[in-house]
Structure 1
Amino acid sequence: MRQSTSALALFMGAVAAFQCSSFKTTITVSAPFYQPAFAPFANHYQSVALLNAVTARDASTAASPFKGAVNVVETFSISAEYCTPTAYQHPAHLDVQILTHGLGFDKSYWRSGGDSSGYNYVRAATDAGYATLSYDRISNGGSSLVDPYTIQQAPIQLAVLEAITSNYRNGTIHPSVPKPSGKVFHVGHSYGSILSHALVATNPSLSDGIVLTGYSTNTTWLGEFLISTDFHLAKENQPQRFGNRSAGFVTWPDELANQYIFLSYPHFDAAVLAYAETHKYPFSVSEVLTGGVVPYNAANFSKPVLMISGDADLIFCGSDCHGILEQAAPLFPGAKPFETYVQPDTGHGMNLHYNASGTYAVIQRFLKDNA
């Protein structure tokens, strides 16, 4: 087992050969949200009571925690970052990867540890000749903080990804970002993979290929993830960071729960786990419970699809992904190609393991070979 290092030494690596511009963009979306059938939480006893209900043996036949859908029009400020290889003089001609993070993170998941870190996905993608466009999903990072019971739900998060992609393709996302002439790929992690999958099921023309990391379409073990979080109120868990947030924002309780959910021992550095815990973001109860209402039948998508997960992914594979990822193939009957890959010695948080660079290499090679 490797020796744990300081957080500073851990993230050292070669000099970064990419440059980034950070910006905020305003988008307006029209999408449905589902009206909660449960009252806003007054305390953590009520959040845990809902957790009891949605993970009970009869949860699938019990009354839904949501009522009917209502369409809304909302405007958000989205914090984003556009990165390109330093040596490339014509970024508009680059193929781009639009990166969507999962629950518990913001867009920094894709640049864990800084510019020269070996855990930095943006570095790997730009080294391979791609541009990247990452963004904070609503209520994460620098993006708009919204109502966690109503607005922060899967259909609205999907609409945000669609709007970001459309604006980028149209050259209207921000003056600092050129209109692309190359291909546009989507790379997601976990909940970000749910959204990237739903994007090509809803609007297949928006993407030239998708990579779904930390993901499968088997939800058998979702309850284990929910239970491990205790639906711990974020305002109580990290009051200095989230003390002013609604009780509708929840998180997992501590570093050990973080390890249980995201990491495979002994294939990570303790400093990485500590970093992930101190940089975590809460998720909304409604967000996680509406993950199944977005469309998944991508029959009209004919571009490349790669589904890649760690062999010990707890959330989507019950800690053994062998034979699980292939189950998604019927949802992508027209994909050219549909491929799966199980990364060894890796848990759900793929960017946080010693061999993250191996994951990155598989992704870049797939896109180069098939796009």
Structure 2
Amino acid sequence: MNAILHLASLGALALIPAVACAATTNTKRCVELEVPVPIVATNQIFDQPRVDSTIDAIDWTVWVSTRTTLPARDRVIKDNPIKDIFKINAQLCVPSDKGPKADILQIATPGLGFDKRYFDAEVQPDEYSYVNAALKKGYSILTYDRLGTGKSQKPNAYDVVQIPTEIEILASLTKIARSGKLISSSKVLSSSRTTVSDFEPSKVVQIGYSFGSFLIQNVLARYPELSDGAVLTALYPNTIPFAQMIDVLHYDHEYPKENDPARFSEYGSGYFVLSNKADLQKLFFQKRSLDPALLTYTEKIKQPETLGEYASEGLSSYLVAEDFKGPVQFFIGEFDNFVCRGDCRGIYDPTEANRIFPHSNATYYLQPNTGHAPGLSKNASAGYEVMLGFLDSHNL
């Protein structure tokens, strides 16, 4: 849904409480946290219209796609230094039995339009929840709501919720987790009858989806010491020219408070959300692997985006991860309508993949009959086996 993915075309494990997460058939031990995440970043203030209504949201969609609208780099008014501590909602889950992978922590970053529930579906969770799949293989996993989504803080949508801020939030959250102080430095939100203590992971693996995968790529380049490997889903270096990519005009947006006043009451100026299930299907799904219950679920959990995210994409790109040497897998739906104009076969660009990951021997995998949301498709569990098998093959 964003220009960056166009560029992609271009110690002992402590006792964690058993709390109420999504209903599953396997034991799931999770704790919900409010993590104070300190960051320093440099955003920009852009010349751009305001969005204070659905009429504004549609007008912005047309404006940003108009051929005479200046590119983002030419609309920068000034730098906007950010030094703040943001409240980020996160969930840490650990396997019931401590095995050899329990001290490997996966950190999962969702994409635009979603919060952490993308990785932990409540519809047939034993089939569709990536959190459940990782736990069954013995991993610990941390999911979180990106800034401006879910239960995380919702600051200024124009000047604060931008890519540089979100990159630094992921890096800072990873540092906190690696330090072994994630729980002790956070506010525990879930009720608990047992002792909650920290654990220090031996390794950290980044799991990304779409926009979240792009954020991870930048973190791996800027902070290579923080991670040991990555699986980047819905991201795929390929040979389609930028000018041929699908743009935002293909999808209708609404002002969140008008789209769903009860659900989106906290969202103010500069936020917008995909309008309805038809737009969600166009962007995220492929009919051959579409479960209608998951389309309904996607509508239920959809999240707003910000003008700041879209504008900052114009100043963002892949960075060369020169000092990152961990394994990387690009995982893409075979018929991703957004990244590949509906067909990802035969267009993988190994030259670009090796340019941005020169020491990772990056590989790719096409998930059959799947669109832009592989984690919400009928064959999600088969895809998870591929992802987790890739990590296991690299001793992660």
The worse-fitting range, judged by mean Cα deviation, of 318-327 and 298-307 is 318-327
Which residue in the other structure is 2:367 paired with?
A: 343
Distance 2:278 2:243 in 1: 19
Which residue in the other structure is 1:204 paired with?
A: 224
Distance 1:68 1:203 in 2: 26
Alignment of 1:254-333 (within 5 A): 254-294=276-316, 295-327=318-350, 328-333=352-357
- Structure 1 residue runs of 5 or longer lacking an equivalent are 1-11
Which residue in the other structure is 1:334 paired with?
A: 358
Which residue in the other structure is 1:6 paired with?
A: none
Which residue in the other structure is 1:167 paired with?
A: 176
Which residue in the other structure is 2:258 paired with?
A: 236
Which residue in the other structure is 2:267 paired with?
A: 245
Q: Give the conservation status (yes or no) of the 8 Å contact 1:27–1:163.
A: yes
The worse-fitting range, judged by mean Cα deviation, of 102-111 and 115-124 is 115-124
Q: Give the conservation status (yes or no) of the 8 Å contact 1:155–1:293.
A: no
Distance 1:172 1:62 in 2: 39
**Cα-to-partner distance string for 1:269-302 (whole Å, 9 max, x where unaligned):** 1111011101111111221332353452212211
CA deviation after TM superposition for structure 1 residue 329, in Å: 1.2
Q: Give the conservation status (yes or no) of the 8 Å contact 1:78–1:143.
A: yes
Q: Give the conservation status (yes or no) of the 8 Å contact 2:99–2:138.
A: no
Distance 2:258 2:226 in 1: 40
Q: Give the conservation status (yes or no) of the 8 Å contact 1:125–1:131.
A: yes
Q: Give the conservation status (yes or no) of the 8 Å contact 1:34–1:70.
A: yes
Q: Give the conservation status (yes or no) of the 8 Å contact 1:115–1:123.
A: no
- Structure 2 residue runs of 5 or longer lacking an equivalent are 1-21, 185-195
RMSD over aligned CA atoms reads 2.5
- Pick from 139, 143, 152 the counterpart of residue 148 of structure 2: 139
Change (3 A) 1:315 1:64: farther
Distance 2:289 2:343 in 1: 15
Change (3 A) 1:310 1:270: same
CA deviation after TM superposition for structure 1 residue 254, in Å: 0.6
| Partner amino acid, structure 2, of 1:266 | R
Q: Give the conservation status (yes or no) of the 8 Å contact 2:255–2:273.
A: yes
Is 2:130 the counterpart of 1:128? no
- Pick from 75, 79, 82 the counterpart of residue 89 of structure 2: 79
Which residue in the other structure is 1:41 paired with?
A: 51
**Cα-to-partner distance string for 1:108-159 (whole Å, 9 max, x where unaligned):** 1111016843100011111112110111111111111111111110110111
Is 2:358 the counterpart of 1:369? no
**What percentage of aligned pairs have identical amino acids?**
28
| Partner amino acid, structure 1, of 2:382 | G
Give the structure, 1 or 2, with the largest relative contact order (CA under 8 Å, sep 6 or more).
2
Q: Give the conservation status (yes or no) of the 8 Å contact 2:218–2:319.
A: yes
Determine helix, strand or coil for the equivalent of 2:26: coil
CA deviation after TM superposition for structure 1 residue 237, in Å: 1.2
- Pick from 96, 99, 107 the counterpart of residue 108 of structure 2: 99
Q: TM-score, normalised by structure 2?
A: 0.84
Determine helix, strand or coil for the equivalent of 1:49: helix
The worse-fitting range, judged by mean Cα deviation, of 134-143 and 244-253 is 244-253
Which residue in the other structure is 1:158 paired with?
A: 167
Q: TM-score, normalised by structure 1?
A: 0.89
